[in-house]
Amino acid sequence: MKIVIDKDIPFSDSMFAGRAEVVTAPGEKISPELVKTADVLIVRSPTRVDERLLAGSSVAFVGTATSGFDHVDRAYLGRRGIAFAHAPGCNADSVAEYVVAALLEIGERFHVRLRGTTIGIVGAGHVGRRVARKARALGMTVLLNDPPLAAASGGAGFLDLGDLMDADFVSLHVPLTKSGPHPTHHLFDRRRIASMRPGSFLLNTARGGVVETAALAGALRSGGLPGAVLDVWEGEPSVDPEAVELASIATAHIAGYSSDGKLRGAMMIYEAVCDRAGWEKTWTAPPDALPPPARPEFTVDNSRTDEQEVLRSLVASRYAIMRDDAELRKIIRLPQDERARYFVGLRNRYPPRREFSATTVACNRAGDSLSRAFSELGFSVRGPRIPSGKHKAKT
């Protein structure tokens, strides 16, 4: 068996060692010539998998170590009888943590107290559900829209999209689809964006094409929307520099790029390939597969009264979202013919980033609302240490 795999997938060169001929390559360099004699192709989102890539090849299985799969022409795979697998939810915590960091940064910059505000979440799948939980931990009221899930559940707990337009924040977590009963391409077009409450914020960590770029840019220029958070872009890796400049926070499609999420995605596709080939699942990631967090424990004085500032400081110390913003903004000054290469480079060179669960928060007081918020956001929480020689009395 011959496996062609994106070299930036963790352990791409070792997880199938001894079982198959393994060829690794950068995702953007995976070509028809490279996959012509391959049996298995494993990619990430930079590789477009379609007839142009696979025509005349021997590929019988395609896996993508990502939760989304709009870079894969599944209809073509179906016509060719090529099996397919992806990694749903592998980076959901990473994306949800990005949204938390963005909300707290917006709160700081625009002097918004998040507690008591409303967030409309469009798409309540793996990511949307986690965003909802973390938003509630910030004291926000959550509104959910997801027509497919609403139909499956009888509508309980879900609202029509129009009912979310009065929210203070609207966060998008849907796949990009252009057909079917609920297409999402330009779901937020000029009309939809104009219906959002003046003063509200739009966050898009789904796919660039879910939002009409020109319409959003117009709303930001006019002040109809005071700001937007954009991690995904129409036409990426070629991005609109004006949209980057207008966005409050702009990043290079890295919301889901935690080291934890990448490893989960790789493991899920490894297991799918083993199932397909009938192999025993003998490979496991080594103990040092994930880099240690720069600061594994963070001590917090949760007697401080400004809970939002405590949370913002903690989250910013774990994930510096504005550093990613600053890196993408450099694209504005580049010549047009260099922008796409720079965007791809930001993703390929993205530094290790651990999820919140890798950090323990040591509180001086356990069980209060702030320590509960730490836990709901995903941190490990430890209460005050009992001094040596002092023990809880037996009852």
pLDDT computed for residue 385 by the predictor: 57
What pLDDT does residue 367 have?
Answer: 63
Which range, of 95-104, 234-243, 294-303, 349-358, averages the lowest pLDDT? 294-303
pLDDT score recorded for residue 303: 72
**pLDDT classification of 384: cutoffs 50, 70, 90:** low
The CATH 3.30.1370.170 domain(s) of the chain lie at 297-382
pLDDT reported for residue 300:
85
CATH topology of domain 297-382: Ribosomal Protein S8; Chain: A, domain 1 (3.30.1370)
Mean pLDDT computed over every residue of the chain: 94
Mean pLDDT on 353-382 = 89
CB 36 within 8 A of CB 56: yes
* Burial tier of 127 (Cβ tally within 10 Å: 0-12, 13-18, 19+): buried
Say whether pLDDT at 115 is over 90. yes
| Residues forming CATH 3.40.50.720 domain(s) in the chain | 2-86+258-277, 92-250
For the full predicted model, state whether its pTM sits above 0.95: no
> pLDDT-derived band of residue 390, with 50, 70 and 90 as boundaries?
very low
At residue 395, the pLDDT reads: 32
Per-residue tokens: 353: 């980033």
Residues with Cβ within 8 Å of 332's Cβ and at least 6 positions away in sequence, in order, are 241, 244, 245
Catalytic residue check, 33: no
Contact 231, 253 (CB under 8 A): yes
The band of 65, judged by pLDDT with boundaries at 50, 70 and 90, is very high
Q: What does the pLDDT average to over 342-346?
A: 95
Q: Coil, strand or helix: which one is 263?
A: helix
Residue 378 has pLDDT above 80, yes or no: yes
Q: Which entry of 44, 71, 186, 207 is annotated as an active-site residue? A: 207
- Confirm or reject CATH 3.40.50.720 for domain 92-250, answering yes or no: yes
Question: Is 28 an annotated catalytic residue?
Answer: no
Position 275 scores a pLDDT of 97
Which has the closest alpha carbon to 1: 54, 41, 38? 38
Percent of the chain with pLDDT over 70: 95
Mean pLDDT of 36-43: 98
Distance from C-alpha of 193 to C-alpha of 195, rounded to nearest angstrom: 5
pLDDT of amino acid 239 = 96
Of 130, 253, 318, 347, the catalytic one is 253
- Does residue 363 have a pLDDT over 90? no
CB atoms within 10 A of CB 336: 8
76-80, 352-356, 380-384: which has the minimum mean pLDDT?
380-384
Distance CA 94, CA 257 (A): 7
The residue annotated as part of the active site, out of 236, 307, 327, 355, is: 236
**Sequence-separated (6 or more) residues with CB below 8 Å from residue 284:** none
Confidence of residue 294 (pLDDT cuts 50, 70, 90): confident
Task: Check if 207 is active-site.
Answer: yes
pLDDT in tens, 152-182: 988 889 999 999 999 999 999 999 999 889 9
Question: CATH for 2-86+258-277?
Answer: 3.40.50.720
Task: Using DSSP, state whether 26 is helix, strand or coil.
Answer: coil
